[in-house]
Amino acid sequence: MADAPTVLKLVRTVPEEPARRPSTPARRLTRRVISVGGGKGGIGKSLISANLGIELARRGKRVVLVDADLGGANLHTTLGIDLPRRTLSDFIERRVVRIEDVVTATGIENLGLVSGALDHLDAANPRYAQKMRFLRHVQQMDVDYAILDLGAGTHANVLDFFLVSDHGVLVLVPEPTAVENAYRFVKAAFWRRLRNVASVYGYDPLLRSVMDGGSFRSPVELVASVSERDPDAGRNLARHLAAFRPRLIVNQARTPSDADVGQAVVAAWRKYFGLEMDLLGTISYEDDVWRAIRARRPLLVDRPEAGAARAFAGIADALLALDLTARTGVGS
């Protein structure tokens, strides 16, 4: 499992933030943090967060969904509930002490919801201290899974939420522009991770001089060059980068060949970046999905027999299997 203090230390060093002394690490309670992201809007991040949460909750896991789409929160709608009285704004504004104080019931056993911040301008771009407090509290909820539904794009906050997770789930729609966006997202997350690791271990000058000395087609080539100059640093970087292992879900597959896109993306990621991804599953495009959303009912509740709904069983199986192997995702 990712070690919370290390992960937060990695996030803590994002370059645009002022240097701070690390605080005493708190004990981690949340068993796993899952974040659901992807480059684009409207690709099914909220749909997947909500229904994966339901699937895990039905298997007896204690799950809290967190609407981390700061500024564009709508996860409550996907779940078919009114905007709760207490939202993330209350936590960010310190009107409540703990994130648990803004968890509301969803009507589904074992599944709670932290609704997104809607009324607070700063919430879309929280201050550094607010972001760190949020991440710390997410990791200290006494639940099995905290699932963060991320906003679109590659904003630093979105990447940091992704990087702090045990399972960073990349949602991909099999269309050329969406695939490009997904690569852009995962590359941005990867380079941010690399910069953070370099900063934590004091490799900045080394990395800069290696990068000034040549162009690199892949992170593997870069790490090889670092190793030539400093084998220990190279080994350490390689270890951190090998742990950067996004989970992939293909959504809105319409043809049999769309279903193969996931494997193709995993193969391309390995070939061009020398890195691994784990394919969790493929969800087909079905009218039942948007019909359920229009009915303001979660897919797994409204239309459990739909093919798209049944895909969540396989996705949850794959995720739980990864947990058994204790192989970390992006946040280690």
Ligand X SMILES: Nc1ncnc2c1ncn2[C@@H]1O[C@H](COP(=O)(O)OP(=O)(O)OP(=O)(O)O)[C@@H](O)[C@H]1O
Binders of ligand X among residues 279 to 318 (CB under 6 A) are: 283, 285-286, 289-290, 293, 308
Q: How far is the CB of 155 from ligand X (least distance, A)?
A: 12
Nearest one of 261, 305, 301 to 281, comparing CA atoms: 261
Give yes or no for residue 45 binding ligand X (CB under 6 A).
Answer: yes
Binders of ligand X among residues 254 to 283 (CB under 6 A) are: 283
Residue 146: phi and psi, rounded to 5, are: -105, 125
The stretch among 40-48, 132-140, 157-165, 229-237 that binds Mg ion (CB under 5 A) is: 40-48
Q: Which does 12 bind (CB under 5 to 8 A by kind): ligand X, Mg ion, none?
A: none
User: Biggest alpha carbon distance in the chain?
Assistant: 60
Q: How far is the CB of 175 from ligand X (least distance, A)?
A: 12
Q: Which does 160 bind (CB under 5 to 8 A by kind): ligand X, Mg ion, none?
A: none
**What is the DSSP track for 83-94?**
PPSS-HHHHHTT
Cα(280)–Cα(122) distance, integer angstroms: 35
Nearer residue to ligand X within complex by CB, 249 or 330: 249
Q: How far is the CB of 59 from ligand X (least distance, A)?
A: 22
Give yes or no for residue 46 binding Mg ion (CB under 5 A).
Answer: yes
Give yes or no for residue 46 binding ligand X (CB under 6 A).
Answer: yes
Give, to the nearest 10 degrees, the angle between helix 4-12 and helix 156-163. 160
Q: How far is the CB of 203 from ligand X (least distance, A)?
A: 34
Tokens for 24, please give them. Answer: 């005493």
Q: How far is the CB of 296 from Mg ion (least distance, A)?
A: 15
Cα(211)–Cα(207) distance, integer angstroms: 6
Find the Cα–Cα–Cα–Cα dihedral 117, 123, 129, 135, rounded to 10°. 40
In the block, residue with structure tokens 């789409």: 69
Residues that bind ligand X (CB under 6 A): 41-47, 69, 72, 152, 251-252, 283, 285-286, 289-290, 293, 308
